[in-house]
Structure 1
Amino acid sequence: MSLPTLGVGIGFREPFRSELFLHQQQVHFLEIVAEHYLDATIQKEQELELLAAHFPLIPHAINLSLGSAEGVDTDYLSKLARLVKQLNPPWWSEHICFTKAGGIDIGHLSPLPYTWEAIDVVCRNIAQVRRYIDVPLILENITYMLQLPGAEMTEAQFLTEIVERSDCGLLLDVTNLYINSVNHDNDVCSFLEQLPLERVVQLHFVGGHWHDGVLIDSHSHSTPLEIWKLMDEVVSRAPVKGVVLERDENLPAFSQLAAELEHAREIGRQYHRWN
């Protein structure tokens, strides 16, 4: 998969739009939540035009539901295809999960059972998506509160089978990887050894918070040392084209976010991933 190097970006959030433009030189690209622009108001259309005029944009979808056994929603897919075509990005992304079942939107990124049948479903849906969108798709690992019974393989093997069979790249969320390892007592090193690291295109990183002894993926705090170390390990081994700080809650001054972006930029420079 021959893709350009983008460098260090941030997930765009409207509250820091003004500060973003004051720190424009420190942000190589933006990741946008696709759903915010599918049925866009005039204001959101203007916002998208403004962002696209100043930054490369990567659409990040949330509600395609690639794991739905009944297939993907073609009305939604048509809207998503129009957005991707409008932006013409080097790649776009979605999650390996399901968000809809039996026609009901469950409003959550839900894990799939690690079975061959689930792999068949995801790959069949990706094949349908490709008939609408010919831009390269990269797939993200999610966090989960419970491990579904009946697994026929590990999570890493499950991800590997999907990206190999569908010929997709990986959006490796190192925060999600770390959180799952803590909450479910998984070995991060073993996980990475099972992944096709040559397929890693992009990373997500951010900090979460503890609640009743569980680490929550809340996108609400600065990136902790453990996740920086994990990012360093991945960037040293995988041909990462871009990393994205994915902060949603408890937003600090943009200067603090910019400091995290600079830290990520230095990691990439150390391993000659970007300048």
Structure 2
Amino acid sequence: MVRLGTGIGWRPEIAGAVEEMPGIEWVEAVAENVCPGHLPESLVRLRERGVTVVPHGVSLGLGGAERPDEGRLAALAERATALGSPLVTEHIAFVRAGGPPADAPRLEAGHLLPVPRTRDALGVLCENVRIAQDALPVPLAVENIAALISWPGEEMTEGQFLYDLADRTGVRLLIDVANLHTNHINRGEDPALALAELPLEALAYVHVAGGFERDGVWHDSHAHPVPEPVLDILADLASRVSPPGVLLERDENFPEPAELEAELGAVRAALERGGRARGEVTAVGAGTPRPGTGGGAEARRRLALAQTAVLSALTAGAPVPDGFDPVRMGVQARALAAKRADVVAKVAPELPVVLGAEYRPAFLAYARVTPMTDGYRRDALDFVEHLLVEGRPDDGRARRALREWWLDRSGPKPRSHRPAARLARAARRVLPRR
């Protein structure tokens, strides 16, 4: 077991502050945002000082119906090697659906979505985790996620599901106490029960983060201060076991360094509070693991069909599947569309400039019925193509600017499902040169 200590999520926006922050023993970097051949100088300096860097993946989709992509696994392994990391981490989630298992077009969520806690899903997840473990040069730990929606017909609690996963695969667990709080508010799940059922000997480290509540729904934003209930769950966990590491996550809306340091101080205080109580709380294990099916073809197909139906409802305007709460599904769909709008604005910052106040409502209207199929950069191209074919925006100068932007970035090669030359001709018909 690697003892990590207290850390913070490394992000480019706060790289300088992290380097100067006292008491930082390790950092975590989003794996997909790190290029092994061109490591950020800040991470290089931290490593030279002996600060551990852990790559945290977000795109494997270990809870999906398909086996993990070999290219994504190779990329994660490469980052672990380049950073000299003692372990890598990912999520218990699905991030895409459709494709061959469902005999349907592939859909991307652009977000971590919950897997059903069923024997089918557990069997598929276990097989996917074993595939990932075999491909990675260091141990893997997987994280519980926050959820807005609940699957009908679940057969296990979160604690039981994680217990069986760790028991059957030997994978380590990254427990996010903020996500336990989120699921308490959104799904009525008891964080103390989840902690009592976990195999705490499998704990790799702990995440702590902030969020906000709106209309009875907790949003795991990673953009707000850590609330007291999350610190209480951390203290409860620390009363049961000494966590090998604890990390504060912040992804946007970054405060001044002093505020981050104060949050880290509150995290350390919660750990100390739990440590003083250790021994007074007895962890109750989940007992004998329940038998489960393997990740066979039929289990994968059933899971693929279910996940495709859910993601189609969330991103393509399809009907909400039976058993799901339509209100919560609507909240999740709007959250996914809003996240897509925010990320597309970051990867293609010219679009909000060209479209001005029209950008966000236009993108949200597009996202409600148009799923993402190949990442955010492709999403930006598809959005602009959609506007051009519709003859928008009304301002001719803005249309011409979008047309030039699209032609410049669509590339010289035809797209497999819609040749670029034909799209360019369509754009020229809509937007004749002046």
Tell whether the structures are fold-level matches, with TM greater than 0.5.
yes
**Residue aligning to 2:25:** 28
Deviations 1:180-209 (A, max 9, x none): 101222222222222112222211112101
State the structure with bigger RCO (CA 8 A, min sep 6), 1 or 2. Answer: 1
Within the alignment, does 1:50 sit opposite 2:50 as a pair?
Answer: no
**Residue aligning to 2:83:** 87
Q: Is the 8 A contact 2:32 2:58 kept in 1?
A: yes
Q: State how far apart, in whole Å, the 1-side matches of 2:193 and 2:16 are.
A: 42
Within the alignment, does 1:100 sit opposite 2:84 as a pair?
Answer: no
Within the alignment, does 1:18 sit opposite 2:21 as a pair?
Answer: no
SS in 1 for 2:148: coil
Q: State how far apart, in whole Å, the 2-side matches of 1:22 and 1:48 are.
A: 13
Amino acid in the other structure paired with 2:126: C
SS in 1 for 2:220: strand
Deviations 1:210-245 (A, max 9, x none): 223211000111111111111011012123110010
**Residue aligning to 1:163:** 166
Deviations 1:130-176 (A, max 9, x none): 22113111111101111111212122211111111111111110000
After alignment, is 107-116 or 186-195 more displaced? 186-195
Task: Compute the RMSD of aligned alpha carbons.
Answer: 1.8
Amino acid in the other structure paired with 1:14: P
Within the alignment, does 1:217 sit opposite 2:220 as a pair?
Answer: yes
SS in 1 for 2:223: strand
Q: State how far apart, in whole Å, the 2-side matches of 1:215 and 1:125 are.
A: 30
Q: Is the 8 A contact 1:68 1:122 kept in 2?
A: yes
Q: State how far apart, in whole Å, the 2-side matches of 1:35 and 1:52 are.
A: 19
Pick from 70, 75, 78: which aligns with 2:71? 75
Within the alignment, does 1:226 sit opposite 2:229 as a pair?
Answer: yes
Q: Is the 8 A contact 1:26 1:261 kept in 2?
A: no
- How far the C-alpha of 1:47 sits from its partner, in A, is 4.5
SS in 1 for 2:32: helix
Amino acid in the other structure paired with 2:78: R
- How far the C-alpha of 1:45 sits from its partner, in A, is 4.6
Within the alignment, does 1:206 sit opposite 2:209 as a pair?
Answer: yes
Amino acid in the other structure paired with 1:31: E
**Residue aligning to 1:245:** 248
For structure 2, which runs of at least 5 residues remain unmatched after alignment? 100-105, 277-434
Amino acid in the other structure paired with 1:174: V
- How far the C-alpha of 1:87 sits from its partner, in A, is 2.1
Q: Is the 8 A contact 1:26 1:262 kept in 2?
A: no
- How far the C-alpha of 1:21 sits from its partner, in A, is 2.1
Q: State how far apart, in whole Å, the 2-side matches of 1:46 and 1:197 are.
A: 36
Q: State how far apart, in whole Å, the 2-side matches of 1:188 and 1:90 are.
A: 29
Deviations 1:110-130 (A, max 9, x none): 111111111111111111112
Q: State how far apart, in whole Å, the 2-side matches of 1:181 and 1:88 are.
A: 36
Q: Is the 8 A contact 2:207 2:248 kept in 1?
A: yes
Q: Is the 8 A contact 1:207 1:217 kept in 2?
A: yes
After alignment, is 191-200 or 77-86 more displaced? 191-200
Amino acid in the other structure paired with 2:177: V
**Residue aligning to 1:118:** 121
Amino acid in the other structure paired with 1:233: D
Q: What is the TM-score when the length of structure 1 is the normalising length?
A: 0.90
Amino acid in the other structure paired with 1:30: V
Mark the CA change 1:132 to 1:227 in structure 2 (over 3 Å): closer, same or farther.
same
SS in 2 for 1:84: helix
Amino acid in the other structure paired with 1:83: R
Rg: which structure is higher?
Answer: 2
**Residue aligning to 2:131:** 128
Q: What is the TM-score when the length of structure 2 is the normalising length?
A: 0.59
Mark the CA change 1:85 to 1:15 in structure 2 (over 3 Å): closer, same or farther.
same
For structure 1, which runs of at least 5 residues remain unmatched after alignment? none
SS in 2 for 1:261: helix
Q: State how far apart, in whole Å, the 2-side matches of 1:145 and 1:121 are.
A: 22
Pick from 142, 147, 158: which aligns with 1:144? 147
Q: State how far apart, in whole Å, the 2-side matches of 1:146 and 1:252 are.
A: 30
Q: Is the 8 A contact 1:198 1:239 kept in 2?
A: no
Q: Is the 8 A contact 2:89 2:142 kept in 1?
A: yes
SS in 1 for 2:112: strand
More strand as a share of residues: 1
Q: Is the 8 A contact 1:245 1:261 kept in 2?
A: yes
